[in-house]
Amino acid sequence: MEQLAVEDDSIVFITGDLGYNALENLQAKLGKRFINAGVAEQNMVGVAAGFAHKGYKVFCYSIAPFIVYRCLEQFRNDVCFNNLPVFLVGNGGGYGYGIMGSSHHTIEDIACLSGQQNANVWVPAFSDEVEQIVRQISTDARPAYLRLGAGKTTPENSIASGSFKIIHKPENADITVFALGPIANNVLSALALSEELSAKVNVVTALHFPLHITDELAELIKNAPAILVAEEHISTGGLAQQLSVQLLEKGILPRAFKSLKAEGYPNARYGSQSYHQKISGLDPDSILAHLGQLMIPA
User: Residue-wise pLDDT tens for the chain (298 aa)?
Assistant: 999 999 999 999 999 999 889 999 999 999 999 999 999 999 999 999 999 999 999 999 999 999 999 999 999 999 999 999 999 999 999 999 999 999 999 999 999 999 999 999 999 999 999 999 999 999 999 999 999 998 899 999 999 999 999 999 999 999 999 999 999 999 999 999 999 999 999 999 999 999 999 999 999 999 999 999 999 999 999 999 999 999 999 999 999 999 999 999 999 999 999 999 999 999 999 999 999 999 877 5
Domains of the chain as residue ranges with CATH: 2-148 (3.40.50.970), 159-294 (3.40.50.920)
pLDDT at 151 (0 to 100): 84
Distance CA(59)–CA(147), nearest Å, equals 13
Q: Which string of DSSP letters, residue by residue, matches the chain?
A: -HHHHHH-TTEEEEESS--TTTSHHHHHHHGGGEEE--S-HHHHHHHHHHHHHTT-EEEEEEEHHHHHHTTHHHIIIIIITTT--EEEEEES-BTTTGGG-GGG-BSSHHHHHTTSTT-EEE--SSGGGHHHHHHHHHHHTS-EEEEE-----PPTT-EEETTEEEEE--TT--EEEEEETTHHHHHHHHHTT-HHHHTTEEEEEE-EES----HHHHHHHHHS-EEEEE-SS-STTSHHHHHHHHHHHTT---SEEEEE-----TTS----HHHHHHHTT-SHHHHHHHHHHHSPP-
pLDDT at 225 (0 to 100): 97
Specify which residues 89 forms β-bridges with: 61, 146
Distance CA(146)–CA(17), nearest Å, equals 18
pLDDT at 298 (0 to 100): 59
Distance CA(48)–CA(71), nearest Å, equals 12
pLDDT at 296 (0 to 100): 79
Q: State CA 120 to chain mean position distance.
A: 11
Phi, psi of 275 (to 5 degrees): -60, -50
For 190, residues 6+ apart whose C-beta sits below 8 A from its C-beta are: 197, 284, 285, 287, 288, 291
Specify which residues 227 forms β-bridges with: 176, 257
